[in-house]
């Protein structure tokens, strides 16, 4: 990867009985293309009495992407969706003008030891789609484009790259690509990508221009093209980015918007419980006093 101009390291955050590594937003880099939020969850080993329990909470102005490496999460939302996400699958929830969801350990795992490891990602919506109706899409692992080139294994989780397109229904020009190697490999992405680009190193290491980069950090490139870099054996990286939006995005808690007014309206709606409910749930997360 040429011209690395920023390295973002994980910062610990508590999201309610569970620690995550916050990567985006970052004070010097709020977004990479349309990607506005990235949390690395785990890896965490949970005891038989420890469970993930994130009660119903709202979103506007974004799509959430959940991608697990280990474990399982039960997703329920105000559209009536109730689905378990497992490793390699994609949950893609588009909030638009407003959606509410909960994330919990599935019932059959609540009294046994388990692990959880994955990525939670937010992709901001284009301005003209901020008020779209909410939607939900689940992709099985075998539905995602996957291929191997010279011992390097690629999977296109979302967007377009290398002439391929993921089944995940995105709303802007973006890419999220998993790249894995079992042996040391030098790869050249060249001009396959567009807009802004960054690499998240999950495991292993990456070498570029004589520098070695370790896991749990994002490397942001000055140029849209990620040129040549070398991956050590047993390395997994995620390349993501796309076309940036012309307008600024504002964040408050779980809300993303092109104006502060939209955020204020969403805050009031949640305070007054005017978002649609999640069937079967009675709890909810109260509006926090401060945000990200």
What is the tens place of the pLDDT at every residue in 139-165? Answer: 999 999 999 999 999 999 999 999 999
Return d(Cα 96, Cα 257) in angstroms, integer. Answer: 10
Between 2-6, 33-37, 198-202, 242-246, the lowest mean confidence (pLDDT) is in 2-6
CATH number at residue 152: 2.60.120.10
CA distances for 220 relative to 107, 111, 226, angstroms:
39, 41, 10
CB 100 within 8 A of CB 254: no
Q: What's the total number of domains in the chain?
A: 1
Q: Is residue 288 part of a domain?
A: no
The structure's pTM equals: 0.93
Copy the structure tokens of residue 140.
């099985």
**Any idea what the Cα angle at residue 245 is, between residues 242 and 247, rounded to 5°?**
160
Is residue 112 helix, strand or coil?
coil
Q: Is residue 105 part of a domain?
A: yes
Condensed to tens digits (0 to 9), the pLDDT of residues 77-127 reads 999 999 999 999 999 999 999 999 999 999 999 999 999 999 999 999 999
Q: Is residue 94 part of a domain?
A: yes
Q: Is residue 270 part of a domain?
A: no
Q: Is residue 175 part of a domain?
A: yes
Positive or negative: CA dihedral 223, 92, 169, 88 = positive
């Amino acid at each position: 990867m040429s011209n690395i101009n920023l390295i973002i390291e994980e910062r610990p955050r508590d999201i309610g009985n569970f620690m995550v590594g916050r990567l985006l937003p970052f004070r010097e880099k709020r977004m990479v293309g349309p990607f506005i939020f990235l949390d690395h969850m785990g890896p965490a080993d949970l005891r038989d009495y420890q469970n993930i329990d994130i009660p119903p909470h709202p979103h506007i102005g974004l799509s959430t992407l959940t991608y697990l490496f280990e474990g399982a999460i039960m997703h329920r939302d105000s559209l009536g969706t109730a689905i378990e996400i497992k490793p390699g699958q994609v949950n893609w929830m588009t909030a638009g003008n407003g959606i509410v969801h909960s994330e919990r350990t599935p019932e059959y795992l609540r009294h046994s030891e388990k692990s959880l490891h994955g990525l939670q990602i937010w992709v901001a919506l284009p301005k003209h789609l901020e008020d779209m109706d909410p939607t939900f899409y689940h992709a099985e692992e075998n539905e995602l484009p996957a291929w191997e080139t010279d011992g390097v294994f690629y999977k296109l989780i979302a967007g377009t790259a290398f002439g391929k397109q993921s089944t995940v229904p995105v709303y802007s020009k973006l890419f999220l690509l998993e790249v894995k190697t079992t042996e040391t490999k030098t790869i050249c992405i060249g001009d396959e990508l567009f807009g802004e680009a960054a690499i998240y190193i999950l495991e292993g290491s990456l070498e570029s221009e004589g520098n070695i980069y370790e896991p749990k950090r994002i490397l942001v490139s000055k140029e849209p093209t990620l040129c040549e870099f070398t991956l050590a054996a047993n390395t997994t990286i995620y390349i993501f980015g796309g076309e940036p939006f012309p307008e600024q995005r504002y964040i408050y808690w779980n809300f993303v918007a092109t104006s502060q007014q939209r955020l204020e309206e969403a805050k009031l709606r949640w305070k007054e419980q005017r978002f649609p409910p999640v069937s079967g749930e009675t709890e909810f997360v109260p509006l926090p006093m401060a945000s990200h």
